[in-house]
Structure 1
Amino acid sequence: MSGDNIFIVQLNWLKVARWERRDGLLHGFLGRRGGRSVGPYASLNVSFRVGDDPQAVKDNICDLKREVGAHDLRIVTMTQVHGDRIIDVKDNRLKEAGEADGLVTEERGLFPAVLTADCVPILFTVRGPKLVAVAHAGWRGTLAGIAAKMVRHLRDSYGVDPSSIEAALGPAVGPCCYEIGADVSQPLAQRWGSLAERCLELRNSKQFLDLRALNRSILEDAGVPPAQIFEVGPCTSC
């Protein structure tokens, strides 16, 4: 609500309890409750790419940062293209990294972000090095292997042992709602074999996909221990 130029932001702010004990690790999955946007965008919209008033988006971002105690942090985003490109962010003045579906940074004070509706947002942290990463995994990005590629990238570019990686998969469309056709299920099954088949369900002659579970399986297959993969939040569709 607003009045006298005061705005109150009520956040849906989901975190990984285990990560709360990490000194200096600010993280979370934010919902769209609250915000200054109006009309069809009435929410805590933080995307400049959907047609919302740019000033409202800027105000939403400022309110968000202030609410979570990160007013001095710089948020860096990417133009998500449903692929598997990963960008290493080394400039802490950067706001937009370019076309990609994964970001990695070692820069303090930098907050890499991923924007999703029903796709899977994945946050990565590593025991030891001060390093964080994010990935955007829709079905196309999952087909391309963005989650596994991130694990390999952290290993090859930063010397990270996959067994030291922890990953959090945020709110996404669930198998309760995500009906797909053969144009999705067949490529996934061809690419990921039994990993994909275990995440497909047939109900009333319709196929449904557990996209988050598939990305979990891909991460496990890439060497991330199951106990270090966390699923956070509900289905975004129901």
Structure 2
Amino acid sequence: MTTRAGGVSGGEDGPADRRGLASLNLGRSVGDDPAHVAENRRRVAAAIGGRPVFLKQVHGTTVLRLHAGHASPEADPEPADAAISTDPALACAVMVADCLPVLFAGPGVVGAAHAGWRGLAGGVLEQTVAAMREATGCDAGAIQAWMGACIGPARFEVGADVLAAFGAEPMPSDQPLFRFQPNAQGEPRWRADLYGLARRKLAALGLGAISGGGWCTLSEPSRFFSFRHERVDGLRSGRMAAVIRLR
């Protein structure tokens, strides 16, 4: 998983409106210089030893099985929030800046999922594992998952709609994975645990191992990009990526 470090974007000497992109921004739609994004993506490709295929993410549950055509400069794949690959030349990549990235590895197949609360509630993790099993015939117990950096449970403020999406009762009290904490105006709000919600879903799938988690993108702005931190410093936020490929 990338952090802010190691790229060519923004910086103290760059334009004020691009300093929030320093330095390894991988997103093309955040106002960065396209040449800087291309160089940053080239560096990630060199580090992973394959061609990362970046997706058109829409907070959905569609899973894309990568093939050589997806790596061409003219490729225009359908919107998707997860990908799997059985080709060592093609790396699965998802971009994040507070949402949860989950990487998967199984015998002969890897996968990556972009799992914000909408994707989690909708079943993007389940769909990714199903696609991996269909592609190779492997058992769920042969697949392992790793959770990258996302907004942590102490900072992720949500409303009753998010609780309802996960089947939790929107009551003004603490619940598993949702800690009640009204906002400054006294309105009911909760702190949601994305890691816990994902871990519960992954465990229910019977995966062989689940690891990672424990960071907070909003709490470490010098290390991670954070979409919500834009509201704090007034600067544009870049995008990080979690990337995986077969060896």
Q: Contact 1:125–1:165 at 8 Å: present in 2 too?
A: yes
Partners in 2 of 1:99 and 1:158 — Cα distance? 23
Note the alpha carbon deviations across 1:83-128, whole angstroms, 9 max, x for none: 10001112266255431011011111211111000101000001xx
Alignment of structure 1 residues 162-201 onto 2, 5 Å: 162-189=140-167, 197-201=175-179
Shift of 1:233: 5.2
Work out which structure has the larger RCO, using CA pairs closer than 8 Å and 6 or more positions apart in sequence.
2
RMSD: 2.0
**Greater share of residues in strand:** 1
Does residue 220 of the first structure (1) align with residue 203 of the second (2)?
yes
Q: Which moved more, 1:164-173 or 1:45-54?
A: 45-54
- Displacement over 4 Å in runs of 4+: none
Does residue 34 of the first structure (1) align with residue 6 of the second (2)?
yes
Q: TM-score, normalised by structure 2?
A: 0.74
Unaligned runs of 5+ in 2: 170-174, 183-187, 220-247
- Structure 1 counterpart of 2:181, which letter? R
Aligned residue number for residue 80 of structure 1: 57
Partners in 1 of 2:128 and 2:43 — Cα distance? 31
Shift of 1:159: 1.0
Instruction: Choose the corresponding residue for 1:58, options 21, 38, 62.
Output: 38
Aligned residue number for residue 181 of structure 2: 203
Does residue 137 of the first structure (1) align with residue 120 of the second (2)?
no
Does residue 234 of the first structure (1) align with residue 215 of the second (2)?
yes
Unaligned runs of 5+ in 1: 1-28, 192-196
Q: Contact 2:84–2:131 at 8 Å: present in 1 too?
A: no
Aligned residue number for residue 66 of structure 2: 89
3-state secondary structure, aligned to 1:134: strand
Partners in 2 of 1:93 and 1:222 — Cα distance? 29
Note the alpha carbon deviations across 1:127-181, whole angstroms, 9 max, x for none: xx22111000001101101111222222234312001110001001111100111
Q: TM-score, normalised by structure 1?
A: 0.76
Pairs aligned (count)? 198
Question: Residues 116 and 106 (structure 1 numbering): CA distance in 2 closer, same or farther, change over 3 Å?
Answer: same
Question: Residues 60 and 147 (structure 1 numbering): CA distance in 2 closer, same or farther, change over 3 Å?
Answer: same
Q: Contact 2:57–2:80 at 8 Å: present in 1 too?
A: yes
Question: Residues 123 and 69 (structure 1 numbering): CA distance in 2 closer, same or farther, change over 3 Å?
Answer: closer
Does residue 46 of the first structure (1) align with residue 29 of the second (2)?
no
